[in-house]
Structure 1
Amino acid sequence: MSSDLIHALEQLEKEKGIEKDIIIEAIEAALISAYKRNFGSSQNVRVSVDRQTGDFKVYALKRVTSDPQNEYMDISVENAKKINAELDEEDMAEVEVTPKKFGRIAAQTAKQVVVQRLREAERGIIFDEFSNKEAEIVTGIVQRTEKKNVIIDLGKTEAVLAPTEQISGEEYKFNDRIKVYVIEVKRTTKGPQIMVSRTHPGLIKRLFELEVPEIHEGVVEIKSISREPGSRTKIAVYSKDDNVDPVGACVGQKGTRVQTIVDELRGEKIDIIKWSSNPQEYISSSLSPAKVVRVDISEEEKSAKVTVPDFQLSLAIGKEGQNARLAAKLTGWKIDIKSESQLRATIEQQLLNFDGGFQSAFSEDEPDEDE
């Protein structure tokens, strides 16, 4: 131990922000364990490291008594006063017991403590950095696959893309550069664990914020997102500024902005619609690209009956009901879709039922001819 250690600790304090005194206290604690382990002592000891020179000393803590029984635990009053004249019986005296061959052990112990603290500090810095990135997008490089988890290199650390957060059918090849959404950062004994996602709706939101300056600046607002990862997404946007077309801003000139996002999502279709406070307008827009003829709503049930042209019915419902399902999730309304011919047939049937009931009631009121 020497001034070289102190100089090294001062450098660490400047570069890594690890306080020198904290490391020295950790070294002192580790040296106590090392002393007892190597010299088989059960006595109470204290290790002191000089903050200026780096020199260390080991002190045994002994009880001052007129009748010493244990040389390791007790010290006579006479000998105690040689160390410190103010010591009296039943006081605790510190007696230096620094072994001559303890230097190498001390240096090795100090190195281990410094390395450990440095590692802990670096882990802490990484945790602090990425915990601030929760709900944000980060870019990484695919490294490997472990038990179906995709490990992504983020530079200073790695992130885990769990199977449940992977897009079905999407391949993650070695050295692929991809954007992921940080869903959670946890402290572990092996350092921070960063969980990321490719399926979270937040990924869509952040991608649009990156590509559309109007969203980043707050001129255009994302009101709602519904997503079936890898297949289709619907996003509702709005602007308080009447001079700004929120849909046009997101699409970009010749579709360049939205196409960049589609490319990042490897072909996932994206429908951008204009949000409206008017439920009929909002629901009608949500079923895009289908055209809607009529929307009848029930505020109490928060449900809507939507009428579309016959040739638009399959488009409005979508493959396996996807378009209608995404529209319902986007708006928060239950949506029942019928074609014009289906609506016409329903109305005609209702009229027939009404007419039949009316005729029956009328017939019951007619007098019997025999009467």
Structure 2
Amino acid sequence: MSKELLGALDVLETEKGIDKQVVIDALEAALVSAYKRNYDQAQNVEVEFDQRKGDIHVYAVKKVVDQVYDSRLEVGLDEALTINKGYELGDDIKFEVTPKNFGRIAAQTAKQVILQRVREAERNIIYNQYSQYENEIVTGEVERQDSRFVYVSLGKVEAVMGRQDQMPNETYRIHDRVKVYVTRVENATKGPQVFVSRTHADLLKRLFEQEVPEIYDGTVEIMAIAREAGDRAKVAVRSNNPDIDPVGTSVGPRGQRVQTIVNELGGENMDIVEWTDDEAKFIANALNPAEVLDVIFDPNNERACEVIVPDYQLSLAIGKRGQNARLAAKLTGYKIDIKSESEASAIMEADQAADEATTGATVSEDDATEPAAETVADDTTSEETPVNDATTDVASDESAE
């Protein structure tokens, strides 16, 4: 058994990449439990594996004490000195207690430990391998499908794609080759579990990086993505080089670059717009292909705005079932209220009329107040007149005198 065990450990280390010492440590711990279980022993025991010969030895560990209360755990100082005069109180002494038939138990335990370690090592290898692909694109083969998942083989592991990660315009058949985006990798008890998606926005980003060298090297940068998988997507790009047009570069000559991505996603339409620091201009770009006349920001809500478009462009700006406006709002992070030019003018005229009416009412109230002031002035004058008359009379009397 010793030679076979040593050979097995060498094979594990060479072919499976499992460290021999890790298996030996696990084997020794398992043999301690096996010894206590099979020989009804509860004392402190240690198992040592001879890596040169492959032999296994079991030792009972006892502490040197003055007075022995439990012979299974303690040994007297006098007895310890007969073994070796260098022992002192508190030292641990190992006494070999290897049973004669322990080899059979050791072989069974070794087999179980090795199989367990092989499974763990394979799970760790797969987890480490695919965890590196997290947030990246991989190509897999559809294996099967049920009501919850599409199962995609990635080689050594089977990935799962939930219903929310499946494209509504795609049908997945066995042996189909598909590009999927690895959203997360979990090291579960039953083995590594890889979750993939075809609807994630970052799948689109990785596809652009594959098709557009300028995006891959960072010359052109994807700033935002708004996507309704399988139907339409908007991508905002900017250039870090003033001599490079980000939109034209992303589209490619005669649209070849973006068309490759559209084909990969089953005909999903792409709107590529230029990202800019000017938020009003960016919002106008996001509503492409509609023409925008004006963007008015809401003073009471910093993330809301009103967009004015020509009358004939209103339906285009809103889009089918509001899709264009919805994607633009998601791309920019603004709540967008779209109005036609005539509607906006009518609202503005109504507001002006209301303001004028309010102003007129205020002026009328002021006018109504002025006669009262004049009356007071008249009253004052009428009250002063007798005083003047009295003064005149006094003056006349004096003259008469």
Partners of 1:240 and 1:137 in 2: CA distance? 25
Contact 2:60–2:94 (CA under 8 A) maintained in structure 1? yes
Contact 2:169–2:266 (CA under 8 A) maintained in structure 1? no
Structure 1 pair 61–279 and aligned structure 2 pair: CA distance change class (3 A): closer
Matched residue, 1:326: 327
Matched residue, 1:120: 120
What do residues 245-292 of structure 1 show as CA deviations (whole Å, max 9, x unaligned)?
A: 211221122222212222222222221111122223211111112122
Q: CA RMSD in A?
A: 3.3
| Matching residue's letter, 2:248 | G
Q: Secondary structure at the match of 1:248?
A: helix
Bigger CA drift: 155-164 or 342-351? 342-351
Matched residue, 2:156: 156
Contact 1:180–1:203 (CA under 8 A) maintained in structure 2? yes
Partners of 1:333 and 1:71 in 2: CA distance? 80
Contact 2:226–2:327 (CA under 8 A) maintained in structure 1? yes
Matched residue, 1:309: 310
Q: Secondary structure at the match of 1:160?
A: strand
Contact 1:3–1:52 (CA under 8 A) maintained in structure 2? no
Q: Secondary structure at the match of 2:272?
A: strand
The reply to whether residue 335 of structure 1 matches residue 327 of structure 2 is no
Larger radius of gyration: 2
What do residues 165-189 of structure 1 show as CA deviations (whole Å, max 9, x unaligned)?
A: 3334543322222222222222221
Structure 1 pair 7–344 and aligned structure 2 pair: CA distance change class (3 A): same
Partners of 2:361 and 2:108 in 1: CA distance? 105
Matched residue, 1:25: 25
The reply to whether residue 5 of structure 1 matches residue 8 of structure 2 is no
Gaps of 5+ in 1: none
Deviation at 1:358, TM superposition (A): 6.3
Partners of 1:279 and 1:63 in 2: CA distance? 78
The reply to whether residue 252 of structure 1 matches residue 252 of structure 2 is yes
Matched residue, 1:188: 188
Structure 1 pair 284–58 and aligned structure 2 pair: CA distance change class (3 A): same
Matched residue, 1:271: 271
| Matching residue's letter, 1:53 | K
Partners of 1:164 and 1:97 in 2: CA distance? 61
Matched residue, 1:228: 228
Contact 2:58–2:96 (CA under 8 A) maintained in structure 1? yes
Q: Secondary structure at the match of 2:185?
A: strand
Bigger CA drift: 215-224 or 280-289? 280-289
Partners of 2:4 and 2:350 in 1: CA distance? 97
Q: Secondary structure at the match of 1:233?
A: strand
What do residues 105-139 of structure 1 show as CA deviations (whole Å, max 9, x unaligned)?
A: 32232122122112212222222233333222222
Deviation at 1:295, TM superposition (A): 2.8
Bigger CA drift: 97-106 or 239-248? 97-106
Deviation at 1:79, TM superposition (A): 7.5
Partners of 1:110 and 1:85 in 2: CA distance? 37
Bigger CA drift: 285-294 or 163-172? 163-172
Matched residue, 1:217: 217
Give the count of matched residue pairs. Answer: 369
Query: After the TM superposition, which residues 64-213 of structure 1 pair with which residues of structure 2 at under 5 Å, given as runs?
Result: 84=84, 86=86, 92-146=92-146, 148-168=148-168, 170-213=170-213
Partners of 1:298 and 1:201 in 2: CA distance? 29
Matched residue, 1:243: 243
What do residues 313-370 of structure 1 show as CA deviations (whole Å, max 9, x unaligned)?
A: 11100122111111112112232212222233334434544565666677775999xx
Gaps of 5+ in 2: 372-401
Bigger CA drift: 209-218 or 246-255? 246-255
**Structure that is richer in helix per residue:** 2
Bigger CA drift: 56-65 or 337-346? 56-65
What do residues 149-178 of structure 1 show as CA deviations (whole Å, max 9, x unaligned)?
A: 222222121222223333345433222222
Matched residue, 2:59: 59
Partners of 2:149 and 2:83 in 1: CA distance? 64
Deviation at 1:44, TM superposition (A): 3.5
Structure 1 pair 220–90 and aligned structure 2 pair: CA distance change class (3 A): closer
Structure 1 pair 327–83 and aligned structure 2 pair: CA distance change class (3 A): same
Structure 1 pair 255–93 and aligned structure 2 pair: CA distance change class (3 A): same
Q: What is the TM-score of this pair, normalised by structure 2? A: 0.80
Partners of 1:43 and 1:115 in 2: CA distance? 28
Structure 1 pair 358–48 and aligned structure 2 pair: CA distance change class (3 A): closer
What do residues 83-117 of structure 1 show as CA deviations (whole Å, max 9, x unaligned)?
A: 65655788654332323333233223212212211
What do residues 49-97 of structure 1 show as CA deviations (whole Å, max 9, x unaligned)?
A: 1021211122233567899898866778887677656557886543323
Structure 1 pair 357–88 and aligned structure 2 pair: CA distance change class (3 A): closer
Contact 1:45–1:60 (CA under 8 A) maintained in structure 2? yes
